[in-house]
Chain A
Amino acid sequence: MVAKKRSTGSQKLSAKRGSKKAGTGALEKAVAAIDRRKLNHDILIRGIPIPNVIRGSVTVKPSQINTALAPLLAIKGIELKPVRLFPIGVPIIDAIRMQIDGKLRNK
Protein backbone atom coordinates (compact mmCIF):
# COMPACT_ATOMS: atom_id res chain seq x y z
CA MET A 1 0.00 0.00 0.00
CA VAL A 2 1.34 3.43 -0.91
CA ALA A 3 1.51 5.80 2.05
CA LYS A 4 -0.47 9.00 1.58
CA LYS A 5 1.82 12.00 1.26
CA ARG A 6 1.34 14.44 4.09
CA SER A 7 0.47 18.01 3.06
CA THR A 8 2.84 20.72 4.20
CA GLY A 9 1.54 23.65 6.21
CA SER A 10 1.71 26.00 3.22
CA GLN A 11 -0.21 23.55 1.03
CA LYS A 12 -2.96 23.31 3.63
CA LEU A 13 -2.94 27.08 3.93
CA SER A 14 -3.34 27.54 0.18
CA ALA A 15 -6.25 25.10 0.15
CA LYS A 16 -7.90 26.88 3.06
CA ARG A 17 -7.48 30.35 1.58
CA GLY A 18 -9.09 29.18 -1.62
CA SER A 19 -12.34 28.27 0.12
CA LYS A 20 -13.64 31.80 0.59
CA LYS A 21 -16.29 33.34 -1.68
CA ALA A 22 -15.42 35.61 -4.57
CA GLY A 23 -15.69 39.40 -4.48
CA THR A 24 -16.50 41.74 -7.40
CA GLY A 25 -13.68 43.74 -8.98
CA ALA A 26 -11.27 42.40 -6.41
CA LEU A 27 -8.64 41.39 -8.93
CA GLU A 28 -8.46 44.86 -10.41
CA LYS A 29 -8.23 46.40 -6.95
CA ALA A 30 -5.38 44.10 -5.99
CA VAL A 31 -3.38 44.88 -9.13
CA ALA A 32 -4.04 48.59 -8.62
CA ALA A 33 -2.73 48.27 -5.07
CA ILE A 34 0.46 46.64 -6.37
CA ASP A 35 0.80 49.42 -8.95
CA ARG A 36 0.47 52.04 -6.25
CA ARG A 37 3.31 50.41 -4.36
CA LYS A 38 5.49 50.87 -7.44
CA LEU A 39 6.50 47.21 -7.58
CA ASN A 40 7.96 45.67 -10.70
CA HIS A 41 5.33 43.24 -12.02
CA ASP A 42 3.76 41.82 -15.16
CA ILE A 43 0.48 40.62 -13.67
CA LEU A 44 -2.44 40.38 -16.06
CA ILE A 45 -6.11 39.75 -15.46
CA ARG A 46 -7.69 37.36 -17.92
CA GLY A 47 -10.93 35.53 -18.51
CA ILE A 48 -13.70 35.65 -21.12
CA PRO A 49 -16.42 36.73 -20.71
CA ILE A 50 -15.72 37.38 -17.00
CA PRO A 51 -12.19 38.36 -16.00
CA ASN A 52 -11.54 35.85 -13.25
CA VAL A 53 -7.92 34.76 -13.67
CA ILE A 54 -4.86 36.57 -12.40
CA ARG A 55 -1.47 35.51 -13.63
CA GLY A 56 2.04 36.91 -13.80
CA SER A 57 5.02 37.67 -11.65
CA VAL A 58 6.23 40.28 -9.21
CA THR A 59 9.91 40.88 -8.56
CA VAL A 60 10.72 42.25 -5.14
CA LYS A 61 13.39 42.44 -2.47
CA PRO A 62 12.77 39.91 0.32
CA SER A 63 11.61 42.69 2.61
CA GLN A 64 8.91 43.66 0.10
CA ILE A 65 7.28 40.26 -0.18
CA ASN A 66 4.51 41.17 2.17
CA THR A 67 3.88 44.45 0.35
CA ALA A 68 3.43 42.52 -2.85
CA LEU A 69 1.43 39.60 -1.56
CA ALA A 70 -0.87 41.32 0.92
CA PRO A 71 -3.26 42.72 -1.74
CA LEU A 72 -3.46 39.31 -3.43
CA LEU A 73 -4.01 37.35 -0.24
CA ALA A 74 -6.76 39.77 0.71
CA ILE A 75 -8.87 38.95 -2.36
CA LYS A 76 -11.97 37.16 -1.22
CA GLY A 77 -12.66 33.98 -3.09
CA ILE A 78 -9.32 33.67 -4.82
CA GLU A 79 -7.88 30.23 -5.34
CA LEU A 80 -4.19 30.87 -5.50
CA LYS A 81 -1.93 28.09 -6.62
CA PRO A 82 1.07 27.87 -4.32
CA VAL A 83 3.12 30.96 -5.11
CA ARG A 84 6.35 29.90 -6.82
CA LEU A 85 9.42 31.72 -5.63
CA PHE A 86 12.54 32.21 -7.74
CA PRO A 87 15.69 33.61 -6.16
CA ILE A 88 17.46 36.13 -8.37
CA GLY A 89 21.09 37.12 -8.14
CA VAL A 90 24.36 35.23 -8.43
CA PRO A 91 26.17 34.69 -6.17
CA ILE A 92 24.18 36.90 -3.82
CA ILE A 93 20.41 36.70 -3.86
CA ASP A 94 19.06 40.22 -3.87
CA ALA A 95 15.56 39.76 -5.19
CA ILE A 96 12.79 37.21 -5.49
CA ARG A 97 10.43 36.73 -8.38
CA MET A 98 7.07 35.42 -7.28
CA GLN A 99 4.99 33.66 -9.86
CA ILE A 100 1.32 34.31 -9.20
CA ASP A 101 -1.44 32.14 -10.60
CA GLY A 102 -4.93 32.52 -9.20
CA LYS A 103 -8.55 32.21 -10.12
CA LEU A 104 -11.71 33.51 -8.58
CA ARG A 105 -14.15 30.86 -7.48
CA ASN A 106 -17.57 30.83 -9.09
CA LYS A 107 -20.19 32.21 -6.76
Chain B
Amino acid sequence: MASPTGCSRIIQIHPTRRCNLRCLHCYSSSGPEERDELAPALLRAALTDAAEAGYNVASFSGGEPLLYTHLREVLDHAHVCGMLTTVTTNGMLLDRRRLRMLDGGADLVAVSLDGKPESHNTIRASKRAFDAMASHLDALRATGIPFGFIFTLTQYNLDELEWVADFALEQGARLLQIHPLEDVGRAQRKMPGERPDAVESAYAYIEALRTQELAGGRMTVQIDLLDRESLEVNASRLFADELREDAQSCPFSELVSPLVIEPDGAVVPIHYGFAREYGLGDLQEASLGELMKRWRLERLNQFRGLCRRVFDEASAQTGLPFFNWYETLGETAARGSSQSTV
Protein backbone atom coordinates (compact mmCIF):
# COMPACT_ATOMS: atom_id res chain seq x y z
CA MET B 1 0.00 0.00 0.00
CA ALA B 2 1.33 3.42 -0.93
CA SER B 3 1.48 6.59 1.15
CA PRO B 4 2.20 10.29 0.50
CA THR B 5 5.86 9.44 0.96
CA GLY B 6 5.83 6.69 -1.68
CA CYS B 7 7.43 3.43 -0.62
CA SER B 8 9.32 5.18 2.20
CA ARG B 9 7.62 4.89 5.57
CA ILE B 10 8.98 7.85 7.44
CA ILE B 11 9.25 8.49 11.12
CA GLN B 12 10.17 12.13 11.47
CA ILE B 13 11.94 12.99 14.70
CA HIS B 14 12.44 16.45 16.14
CA PRO B 15 14.75 15.68 19.06
CA THR B 16 15.18 19.29 20.13
CA ARG B 17 13.86 22.80 19.53
CA ARG B 18 17.24 24.25 20.27
CA CYS B 19 18.73 25.99 17.26
CA ASN B 20 21.58 28.39 16.54
CA LEU B 21 19.20 30.41 14.33
CA ARG B 22 15.80 31.99 14.73
CA CYS B 23 14.52 31.66 11.16
CA LEU B 24 11.56 33.77 10.14
CA HIS B 25 9.71 30.82 8.64
CA CYS B 26 10.42 28.21 11.33
CA TYR B 27 7.38 25.95 11.74
CA SER B 28 8.48 24.92 15.23
CA SER B 29 9.50 28.41 16.43
CA SER B 30 12.88 26.98 17.38
CA GLY B 31 15.71 29.18 18.62
CA PRO B 32 18.84 29.46 20.77
CA GLU B 33 16.84 29.92 23.96
CA GLU B 34 14.76 26.75 23.54
CA ARG B 35 15.72 23.77 25.65
CA ASP B 36 13.05 21.13 24.87
CA GLU B 37 14.88 17.89 24.26
CA LEU B 38 13.96 14.22 24.11
CA ALA B 39 15.86 11.68 26.20
CA PRO B 40 17.92 9.34 24.01
CA ALA B 41 16.57 6.23 25.76
CA LEU B 42 13.04 7.33 24.89
CA LEU B 43 14.00 7.85 21.26
CA ARG B 44 15.83 4.54 21.00
CA ALA B 45 12.78 2.69 22.29
CA ALA B 46 10.53 4.63 19.91
CA LEU B 47 12.78 3.78 16.96
CA THR B 48 12.66 0.10 17.86
CA ASP B 49 8.85 0.20 17.96
CA ALA B 50 8.72 2.23 14.74
CA ALA B 51 10.90 -0.28 12.88
CA GLU B 52 8.69 -3.12 14.09
CA ALA B 53 5.71 -1.17 12.76
CA GLY B 54 7.30 -1.05 9.31
CA TYR B 55 8.85 2.43 9.27
CA ASN B 56 12.03 2.28 7.20
CA VAL B 57 13.29 5.87 7.23
CA ALA B 58 14.16 7.88 10.34
CA SER B 59 14.29 11.54 9.46
CA PHE B 60 15.87 13.90 12.01
CA SER B 61 15.01 17.56 11.98
CA GLY B 62 14.54 20.20 14.61
CA GLY B 63 15.40 22.69 15.86
CA GLU B 64 18.93 22.09 14.68
CA PRO B 65 19.54 18.35 15.10
CA LEU B 66 23.32 18.86 15.17
CA LEU B 67 22.81 20.53 18.55
CA TYR B 68 21.26 17.36 19.94
CA THR B 69 24.19 15.81 21.75
CA HIS B 70 22.89 12.24 21.42
CA LEU B 71 22.33 12.43 17.67
CA ARG B 72 24.91 9.83 16.69
CA GLU B 73 23.61 7.44 19.30
CA VAL B 74 20.07 7.54 17.93
CA LEU B 75 21.24 7.49 14.31
CA ASP B 76 23.19 4.32 15.04
CA HIS B 77 20.20 2.82 16.77
CA ALA B 78 18.03 3.56 13.72
CA HIS B 79 20.60 1.69 11.61
CA VAL B 80 20.58 -1.24 14.01
CA CYS B 81 16.80 -1.30 13.53
CA GLY B 82 17.32 -1.51 9.77
CA MET B 83 16.24 2.03 8.93
CA LEU B 84 17.74 4.59 6.60
CA THR B 85 18.50 7.92 8.23
CA THR B 86 18.30 11.53 7.08
CA VAL B 87 19.38 14.68 8.90
CA THR B 88 18.01 18.12 8.00
CA THR B 89 20.28 20.98 9.03
CA ASN B 90 20.90 24.64 8.35
CA GLY B 91 24.48 23.59 7.59
CA MET B 92 26.22 26.28 9.63
CA LEU B 93 27.51 23.85 12.23
CA LEU B 94 28.85 21.18 9.86
CA ASP B 95 32.42 21.44 11.15
CA ARG B 96 34.87 18.55 10.98
CA ARG B 97 33.87 17.15 14.33
CA ARG B 98 30.19 17.03 13.44
CA LEU B 99 30.89 15.69 9.97
CA ARG B 100 32.83 12.84 11.57
CA MET B 101 29.82 12.29 13.81
CA LEU B 102 27.51 12.11 10.79
CA ASP B 103 29.84 9.95 8.70
CA GLY B 104 28.40 6.45 8.84
CA GLY B 105 25.41 7.68 10.83
CA ALA B 106 23.47 9.70 8.27
CA ASP B 107 22.48 8.26 4.91
CA LEU B 108 21.42 11.66 3.60
CA VAL B 109 22.07 15.20 4.79
CA ALA B 110 19.55 17.83 3.70
CA VAL B 111 20.79 21.41 3.94
CA SER B 112 18.41 24.35 3.99
CA LEU B 113 18.98 26.89 1.22
CA ASP B 114 16.36 29.57 0.77
CA GLY B 115 17.65 31.49 -2.21
CA LYS B 116 20.58 33.69 -3.14
CA PRO B 117 22.88 34.60 -0.24
CA GLU B 118 21.08 37.83 0.63
CA SER B 119 17.64 36.21 0.59
CA HIS B 120 18.89 33.19 2.50
CA ASN B 121 20.38 35.42 5.19
CA THR B 122 17.19 37.45 5.45
CA ILE B 123 14.94 34.45 5.94
CA ARG B 124 17.47 32.89 8.33
CA ALA B 125 17.75 36.16 10.28
CA SER B 126 21.53 35.93 10.22
CA LYS B 127 24.08 37.81 8.14
CA ARG B 128 26.43 34.85 8.34
CA ALA B 129 23.98 32.07 7.50
CA PHE B 130 24.89 31.56 3.85
CA ASP B 131 28.67 31.98 4.12
CA ALA B 132 28.89 29.74 7.16
CA MET B 133 26.79 27.04 5.48
CA ALA B 134 28.62 27.26 2.16
CA SER B 135 32.03 27.12 3.86
CA HIS B 136 31.28 23.55 5.01
CA LEU B 137 30.05 22.13 1.73
CA ASP B 138 33.48 21.01 0.43
CA ALA B 139 34.04 19.04 3.59
CA LEU B 140 30.52 17.61 3.47
CA ARG B 141 31.08 16.48 -0.11
CA ALA B 142 34.43 14.96 0.86
CA THR B 143 32.75 12.68 3.39
CA GLY B 144 30.83 11.02 0.57
CA ILE B 145 27.53 11.32 2.44
CA PRO B 146 24.84 11.98 -0.18
CA PHE B 147 23.40 15.43 0.39
CA GLY B 148 20.76 17.74 -0.97
CA PHE B 149 19.19 21.14 -0.43
CA ILE B 150 15.75 22.17 0.74
CA PHE B 151 14.38 25.39 -0.70
CA THR B 152 11.42 27.12 0.95
CA LEU B 153 9.19 28.57 -1.73
CA THR B 154 7.45 31.85 -0.91
CA GLN B 155 5.19 34.14 -2.89
CA TYR B 156 8.23 36.20 -3.86
CA ASN B 157 11.22 33.95 -4.49
CA LEU B 158 10.45 31.61 -7.38
CA ASP B 159 12.82 33.65 -9.53
CA GLU B 160 15.68 32.44 -7.31
CA LEU B 161 14.98 28.75 -7.85
CA GLU B 162 17.15 28.64 -10.96
CA TRP B 163 20.10 30.05 -9.00
CA VAL B 164 19.48 27.57 -6.22
CA ALA B 165 19.36 24.65 -8.67
CA ASP B 166 22.61 25.77 -10.34
CA PHE B 167 24.28 26.15 -6.95
CA ALA B 168 23.05 22.71 -5.86
CA LEU B 169 24.36 21.09 -9.05
CA GLU B 170 27.72 22.85 -8.72
CA GLN B 171 28.03 21.53 -5.21
CA GLY B 172 27.24 17.98 -6.28
CA ALA B 173 23.88 17.75 -4.52
CA ARG B 174 21.75 14.73 -5.32
CA LEU B 175 18.46 16.24 -4.24
CA LEU B 176 16.67 19.57 -4.44
CA GLN B 177 13.46 19.63 -2.48
CA ILE B 178 11.11 22.56 -2.92
CA HIS B 179 8.81 23.03 0.01
CA PRO B 180 6.13 25.73 -0.03
CA LEU B 181 6.16 28.03 2.99
CA GLU B 182 3.47 27.06 5.46
CA ASP B 183 1.60 29.55 7.57
CA VAL B 184 2.54 27.96 10.88
CA GLY B 185 4.92 28.64 13.77
CA ARG B 186 7.01 31.78 13.50
CA ALA B 187 6.02 32.27 9.84
CA GLN B 188 2.57 33.33 10.97
CA ARG B 189 4.04 36.41 12.64
CA LYS B 190 7.18 37.07 10.65
CA MET B 191 6.15 36.25 7.09
CA PRO B 192 2.42 36.97 6.84
CA GLY B 193 1.11 36.85 3.29
CA GLU B 194 4.25 35.19 1.94
CA ARG B 195 2.81 31.73 1.54
CA PRO B 196 2.67 30.99 -2.21
CA ASP B 197 -0.84 31.33 -3.60
CA ALA B 198 -2.44 29.05 -6.20
CA VAL B 199 -0.98 30.89 -9.18
CA GLU B 200 2.52 31.01 -7.72
CA SER B 201 2.24 27.33 -6.80
CA ALA B 202 1.28 26.49 -10.37
CA TYR B 203 4.29 28.39 -11.70
CA ALA B 204 6.51 26.69 -9.16
CA TYR B 205 5.23 23.30 -10.23
CA ILE B 206 6.10 24.14 -13.83
CA GLU B 207 9.53 25.43 -12.83
CA ALA B 208 10.23 22.32 -10.79
CA LEU B 209 9.47 20.13 -13.78
CA ARG B 210 11.64 22.30 -15.98
CA THR B 211 14.47 22.25 -13.44
CA GLN B 212 14.28 18.45 -13.27
CA GLU B 213 14.51 18.27 -17.05
CA LEU B 214 17.63 20.46 -17.05
CA ALA B 215 19.23 18.55 -14.17
CA GLY B 216 18.60 15.20 -15.84
CA GLY B 217 19.87 12.28 -13.81
CA ARG B 218 22.36 14.37 -11.85
CA MET B 219 19.90 15.57 -9.26
CA THR B 220 16.36 14.71 -8.19
CA VAL B 221 14.05 17.73 -7.98
CA GLN B 222 11.06 17.24 -5.75
CA ILE B 223 8.29 19.74 -5.09
CA ASP B 224 5.92 19.19 -2.19
CA LEU B 225 2.83 20.05 -4.18
CA LEU B 226 0.27 17.64 -5.45
CA ASP B 227 -1.63 18.08 -8.68
CA ARG B 228 -5.26 17.13 -8.64
CA GLU B 229 -4.81 14.66 -11.46
CA SER B 230 -2.45 12.60 -9.30
CA LEU B 231 -4.81 12.97 -6.38
CA GLU B 232 -7.67 11.42 -8.32
CA VAL B 233 -5.77 8.24 -9.10
CA ASN B 234 -3.92 7.95 -5.80
CA ALA B 235 -6.54 8.08 -3.07
CA SER B 236 -4.77 5.27 -1.26
CA ARG B 237 -1.54 7.29 -1.11
CA LEU B 238 -3.43 9.96 0.80
CA PHE B 239 -5.24 7.56 3.13
CA ALA B 240 -8.51 8.58 1.52
CA ASP B 241 -9.56 5.23 0.09
CA GLU B 242 -11.71 2.62 1.77
CA LEU B 243 -10.21 1.46 5.02
CA ARG B 244 -8.60 -1.91 4.47
CA GLU B 245 -10.12 -4.93 6.16
CA ASP B 246 -6.98 -5.73 8.11
CA ALA B 247 -6.61 -2.17 9.42
CA GLN B 248 -6.44 -3.39 12.99
CA SER B 249 -3.61 -5.80 12.28
CA CYS B 250 -1.59 -4.46 9.32
CA PRO B 251 1.75 -2.72 9.92
CA PHE B 252 1.06 0.68 11.47
CA SER B 253 3.32 2.38 8.93
CA GLU B 254 0.76 1.51 6.26
CA LEU B 255 -1.83 3.55 8.10
CA VAL B 256 0.18 6.73 8.74
CA SER B 257 3.33 8.12 7.15
CA PRO B 258 5.02 10.35 8.02
CA LEU B 259 4.64 9.84 11.73
CA VAL B 260 6.12 12.70 13.75
CA ILE B 261 7.75 12.80 17.18
CA GLU B 262 7.99 16.32 18.57
CA PRO B 263 10.57 17.56 21.12
CA ASP B 264 8.06 17.42 23.98
CA GLY B 265 7.28 13.76 23.27
CA ALA B 266 4.02 14.35 21.42
CA VAL B 267 3.44 11.93 18.55
CA VAL B 268 1.27 13.15 15.67
CA PRO B 269 0.53 12.10 12.12
CA ILE B 270 1.73 13.85 8.94
CA HIS B 271 3.59 16.96 10.13
CA TYR B 272 4.92 18.93 13.08
CA GLY B 273 2.18 20.68 15.02
CA PHE B 274 -0.66 18.55 13.62
CA ALA B 275 -3.88 18.96 15.61
CA ARG B 276 -3.61 17.02 18.86
CA GLU B 277 -7.14 15.75 18.34
CA TYR B 278 -5.65 13.35 15.80
CA GLY B 279 -2.45 12.72 17.73
CA LEU B 280 -1.23 9.41 19.14
CA GLY B 281 -0.33 10.80 22.55
CA ASP B 282 2.76 11.46 24.61
CA LEU B 283 5.90 9.31 24.49
CA GLN B 284 6.67 10.34 28.06
CA GLU B 285 3.53 8.51 29.19
CA ALA B 286 3.49 5.37 27.06
CA SER B 287 5.71 3.58 24.56
CA LEU B 288 5.25 4.24 20.87
CA GLY B 289 4.00 0.70 20.42
CA GLU B 290 1.32 1.27 23.04
CA LEU B 291 0.35 4.64 21.55
CA MET B 292 -0.02 3.04 18.13
CA LYS B 293 -2.24 0.31 19.53
CA ARG B 294 -4.56 2.81 21.21
CA TRP B 295 -4.68 5.09 18.18
CA ARG B 296 -5.72 2.27 15.91
CA LEU B 297 -8.68 1.56 18.16
CA GLU B 298 -9.66 5.11 19.07
CA ARG B 299 -8.59 7.53 16.34
CA LEU B 300 -7.88 5.72 13.10
CA ASN B 301 -11.42 6.14 11.81
CA GLN B 302 -11.45 9.82 12.75
CA PHE B 303 -8.14 10.37 10.91
CA ARG B 304 -9.36 8.51 7.84
CA GLY B 305 -12.53 10.60 7.89
CA LEU B 306 -10.40 13.75 7.89
CA CYS B 307 -8.30 12.51 4.95
CA ARG B 308 -11.41 11.59 3.01
CA ARG B 309 -13.01 14.98 3.70
CA VAL B 310 -9.93 16.86 2.51
CA PHE B 311 -9.66 14.58 -0.50
CA ASP B 312 -13.28 15.22 -1.49
CA GLU B 313 -12.95 18.98 -1.00
CA ALA B 314 -9.72 19.09 -2.99
CA SER B 315 -11.22 17.03 -5.80
CA ALA B 316 -14.21 19.31 -6.11
CA GLN B 317 -12.34 22.62 -6.17
CA THR B 318 -12.41 24.69 -9.30
CA GLY B 319 -9.18 26.61 -8.77
CA LEU B 320 -5.78 25.73 -10.08
CA PRO B 321 -5.05 22.11 -9.36
CA PHE B 322 -1.86 22.39 -7.34
CA PHE B 323 -1.77 22.36 -3.59
CA ASN B 324 0.22 21.30 -0.58
CA TRP B 325 -1.51 18.16 0.69
CA TYR B 326 0.25 18.19 4.05
CA GLU B 327 -0.68 21.77 4.78
CA THR B 328 -4.26 21.39 3.57
CA LEU B 329 -4.73 18.35 5.76
CA GLY B 330 -3.12 20.08 8.74
CA GLU B 331 -5.21 23.22 8.35
CA THR B 332 -8.44 21.25 8.07
CA ALA B 333 -7.51 19.24 11.15
CA ALA B 334 -6.72 22.43 13.07
CA ARG B 335 -10.00 24.02 12.01
CA GLY B 336 -11.87 20.96 13.22
CA SER B 337 -10.02 21.13 16.53
CA SER B 338 -10.77 24.77 17.13
CA GLN B 339 -14.44 24.30 16.24
CA SER B 340 -14.76 21.36 18.57
CA THR B 341 -13.25 23.32 21.45
CA VAL B 342 -15.50 26.36 21.05
Interface of A toward B, CB cutoff 8 Å: 6-10, 12-13, 16, 61-63, 65-66, 69-70, 73, 85, 87, 90-94, 96
Complexed CA–CA distance, A102 and B107 (Å): 45
State which of B153, B162, B228 has its C-beta within 8 Å of the C-beta of A93: B228
The chain A residue sitting closest to B206, CB to CB, is A65
Cβ-based interface call for B318 (8 A): yes
Contact A16-B316, Cβ < 8 Å, known A62-B229, A93-B228: no
| Contact A69 B210, beta carbon cutoff 8 Å | yes
Instruction: Give chain B residues whose Cβ lies under 8 Å from the Cβ of A85.
Output: 199, 202, 320
Interface of B toward A, CB cutoff 8 Å: 153-162, 196, 199-200, 202-207, 209-210, 213, 227-230, 232, 315-322
Instruction: Give chain B residues whose Cβ lies under 8 Å from the Cβ of A91.
Output: 315-316, 318
Chain B nearest CB, measured from A85 CB (Å): 6
Contact A65-B320, Cβ < 8 Å, known A7-B156, A85-B199: no
Can you list 23 A-B pairs with a CB-CB distance of less than 8 A?
A: A7-B156, A8-B158, A8-B200, A9-B158, A9-B196, A10-B159, A10-B200, A10-B204, A16-B159, A61-B229, A62-B321, A62-B322, A63-B229, A65-B209, A66-B210, A66-B213, A70-B210, A85-B202, A92-B228, A93-B229, A93-B320, A94-B229, A94-B232
The chain B residue sitting closest to A13, CB to CB, is B159
| Contact A8 B202, beta carbon cutoff 8 Å | no
Instruction: Give chain A residues whose Cβ lies under 8 Å from the Cβ of B321.
Output: 62, 87, 93, 96
Chain B nearest CB, measured from A57 CB (Å): 15
State which of B157, B229, B230, B319 has its C-beta within 8 Å of the C-beta of A9: B157
The chain A residue sitting closest to B155, CB to CB, is A8
The chain A residue sitting closest to B232, CB to CB, is A92
| Contact B206 A66, beta carbon cutoff 8 Å | yes
| Contact A10 B199, beta carbon cutoff 8 Å | yes
The chain B residue sitting closest to A66, CB to CB, is B209
Complexed CA–CA distance, A49 and B230 (Å): 45
Instruction: Give chain B residues whose Cβ lies under 8 Å from the Cβ of A69.
Output: 206, 210
Chain A nearest CB, measured from B162 CB (Å): 8
Instruction: Give chain A residues whose Cβ lies under 8 Å from the Cβ of B210.
Output: 66, 69-70, 73
Instruction: Give chain B residues whose Cβ lies under 8 Å from the Cβ of A16.
Output: 159
Given contacts A7-B156, A62-B205, 14 further A-B pairs with CB under 8 A are A8-B200, A9-B160, A9-B204, A10-B158, A13-B159, A61-B229, A62-B322, A85-B199, A87-B321, A90-B318, A91-B318, A92-B232, A93-B229, A93-B318
Chain A nearest CB, measured from B232 CB (Å): 7
Instruction: Give chain A residues whose Cβ lies under 8 Å from the Cβ of B315.
Output: 91-92
> Quick one: which of B158, B205, B213, B229 has the most chain A CB within 10 A?
B229
Chain A nearest CB, measured from B160 CB (Å): 7
Instruction: Give chain B residues whose Cβ lies under 8 Å from the Cβ of A87.
Output: 318-321
The chain B residue sitting closest to A92, CB to CB, is B315
The chain B residue sitting closest to A12, CB to CB, is B159
The chain A residue sitting closest to B153, CB to CB, is A9
Instruction: Give chain B residues whose Cβ lies under 8 Å from the Cβ of A93.
Output: 228-229, 317-318, 320-321
